[in-house]
Structure 1
Amino acid sequence: MKGRSIILDHLGDREAAALMVDGRLEDLLIDADAPRPGTVYRAIADRPVKGQGGMFLKTPDGSAFLRQIKGLAPGQAILVQVTGYAEPGKALPVTQKLLFKSRYAIVTPDAPGLNISRAIKDEAERDRLLEIAHDVLAEAKTGLILRSSCAGANAEEIADDIAQMAELAARVAADDSAGMETLAEGDGPHVLAWRDWVAPAEVITDPGGFEDHGVLDALDAVRAAQVGLGGGASLYVEPTRALVAVDVNTGSDASLAAGIKANMACARALPRALRLRGLGGQIVLDLAPMPKKDRRAFETALRQSFRADDVETALVGWTPLGHYELQRKRARLPIEEVLI
């Protein structure tokens, strides 16, 4: 099926959303039992961790870990937001820098100022968006970021979005209770799909949409380790307790350029492979053999690929053994944990 389709459905009793582009699965969101990123708590400071500059907190959903705790004392109530998923057996990662994010706007209570996405370059459009923001926020002290999805969008929809996020931020900030409490839930897959997949697409909400539109078949392929790269080359994505290992193979190609071709194909395919599998943390690439002079071209291709990916990923660099390392935010749970 040609074009972009967003399919909203369920996998068992879990809410899920899939993005299909020209019949290929490009992104997949599945709800989990763990607290969702974006959830806001009133937490209670518990105990500091010497040597790490952090503190464990008590939340309604268990222990959380906060870095940069200057001035925070045990027993103190504090507003924090979940930033990602915890590794098994570890505390939830949280931050004091709250963000209230929607389709068009991100309200930043602790970072005053009005910013517009640099992707919007037209000065007339930027002026239009500034007028909308000033009309809605008036003298409010909160910060605001207008996302790239605002370009050409209906002024009333943008204004409503800003107002809703600003009202939520104000309600959370005004809470002065002392006990542990969940003040705002993170967004589920269907809301995230509306919020982040903003390019024009057909939206399908009929029950059984995953089966009717090939998502279940694509899901079977995602659960396998192997990803075809074309020309007989492939990569294998295999998570371990410590890291995610990615092995690149040239297959039957015995030409002198086989290694660089396979590695460049890996650079293009890797963000999607990690995104669909929900993998993050330390990632080590065992690349196909290639001359050192080709490393810069590979790094450039890898950087361009991850620039279009919405999960924060740091390209760390080469190891003495010739492996390439990345560090990726745990923004999702591994698909094998969600679909047990």
Structure 2
Amino acid sequence: MRRHTIILDHIDGREAAALLENGRLDDLLLAMDATPAVGTIYRAVAQRPVKGQGGMFVSTPDGPAFLRQVKGLSPGQTVLVQVTGRAEPGKAIPVTSKVLFKSRYAIVTPEAPGLNISRSIKDEARRDALLELAHEMMEADGMGLILRSSCLEAGDAEIAEDIEAMAATAGRIMPENEGTEATLLEGDGPHALAWREWAMPADVITQAGGFAREGVLDQLENLEVACADLPGAGSLWIEPTRALIAVDVNTGGDTSPAAGLKANLAAARELPRQLRLRGLGGQVTVDLAPMTKKDRKAFESTLRVAFRTDQIETALVGWTPLGHFELQRKRDRIPISEILS
């Protein structure tokens, strides 16, 4: 049986939240001091289009941002945008004009009408009850709504309160599309994100020093080195470069015929956790241990299942001519190396 523990604490004065599963660190959220938090909403001013990319640079109170898929936007016009990822040093803040208002149970979509229930909720009776609640709460608002998987076990009163709060926030922010550049809504910090995203039953520790008492700091030390052990199946080396994240799978001392496949499957199960904890994103290239081509489907299937529950958007791109496997992962976290160094 899985036992979850959520710890809200600080690291070197920086707000942080940790999720433990049976005492093992499974996720870590850190405040991004130098860059705006994901989810921050600006009133931005269009500056100049980027030919060939279908995008445009816009100005915000926190510096230049880059908006993709621009249509009908001219320099000098104002537009509401939302931060979608971490701004790398020296680069523009990534933003979108598809603004969302996201909370623990509900996501309000002002420009995408319609009422939707998470596909992970399979119980038809519960789906019908949630759809009825959604109609009742959003009937006069004209905005879209998505009810998240966390609604399965939540009470209707909690869900209704969440919908009402998000709809009210959207109703307040969306009309603010004229004027000078401004920050209209700050993105959630680690403690708020932990409440929003970690909705499973868990013990919650909020007392100062929780990271030290629960062994989080000890486990963070393991992230300072490139090598991560794969239980009974070799090791995983994860080394960020300027261009990409290089991942190497080693079989260790196992010389059996199935050693390569065994290590690769273990790596597929562990890779989402390691990238999550290390705060790594961008292009990821995996150099796998030797295995036959017929075993590739087993690796892909295991990798797909492993990333299915990961909350960070990751595209499984596929195989290279040299037999490496490539992924593209959204950059929306601060690398842990910047904290531990």
TM-score, with structure 2 as normaliser: 0.97
Aligned-partner residue type, residue 111 of structure 2: D
Task: Kindly tell me the number of residue pairs found equivalent between the two proteins.
Answer: 339
Q: Aligned equivalents of 2:335 and 2:291: distance in 1?
A: 31
Deviation at 1:162, TM superposition (A): 0.3
**Match of 2:112?**
111
Q: How does 1:1-340 map to 2 (within 5 A)?
A: 3-33=3-33, 34-231=35-232, 233-340=234-341
Q: Aligned equivalents of 1:197 and 1:120: distance in 2?
A: 17
Percent identical residues: 65
Q: Aligned equivalents of 1:96 and 1:246: distance in 2?
A: 34
Single out whichever of 120-129 and 278-287 deviates more from structure 2. 120-129
Q: Aligned equivalents of 1:179 and 1:257: distance in 2?
A: 63
Q: Aligned equivalents of 1:271 and 1:337: distance in 2?
A: 20
Which segments of 5 or more consecutive residues in structure 2 lack a partner in the other structure? Answer: none
Deviation at 1:153, TM superposition (A): 1.0
Aligned-partner residue type, residue 147 of structure 1: R
Q: Aligned equivalents of 1:293 and 1:231: distance in 2?
A: 23
Q: Aligned equivalents of 2:286 and 2:164: distance in 1?
A: 45
- Verify the 8 A CA contact 2:233 2:266 in the aligned structure 1: no
Which segments of 5 or more consecutive residues in structure 1 lack a partner in the other structure? Answer: none
- Verify the 8 A CA contact 2:84 2:94 in the aligned structure 1: yes
- 3-state DSSP class of the match of 1:57? strand
Deviations 1:308-333 (A, max 9, x none): 11111111111111111000111212
Moved over 4 A (4+): none
Deviations 1:148-185 (A, max 9, x none): 10013111110010000001111111224410100001
Aligned-partner residue type, residue 129 of structure 2: R
Q: Aligned equivalents of 2:19 and 2:303: distance in 1?
A: 22
Q: Aligned equivalents of 2:95 and 2:177: distance in 1?
A: 20
Q: Aligned equivalents of 1:162 and 1:109: distance in 2?
A: 13
Deviations 1:282-301 (A, max 9, x none): 00001111111111111111
Deviations 1:185-212 (A, max 9, x none): 1111001111111110000001100000
Deviation at 1:134, TM superposition (A): 2.1
Aligned-partner residue type, residue 263 of structure 1: N
TM-score, with structure 1 as normaliser: 0.98
Aligned-partner residue type, residue 5 of structure 1: T
Q: Aligned equivalents of 2:167 and 2:32: distance in 1?
A: 27
- 3-state DSSP class of the match of 2:174? helix
Deviations 1:207-234 (A, max 9, x none): 1000000000011112221111122500
Deviation at 1:62, TM superposition (A): 0.4
Aligned-partner residue type, residue 18 of structure 1: A
- Verify the 8 A CA contact 2:37 2:186 in the aligned structure 1: yes
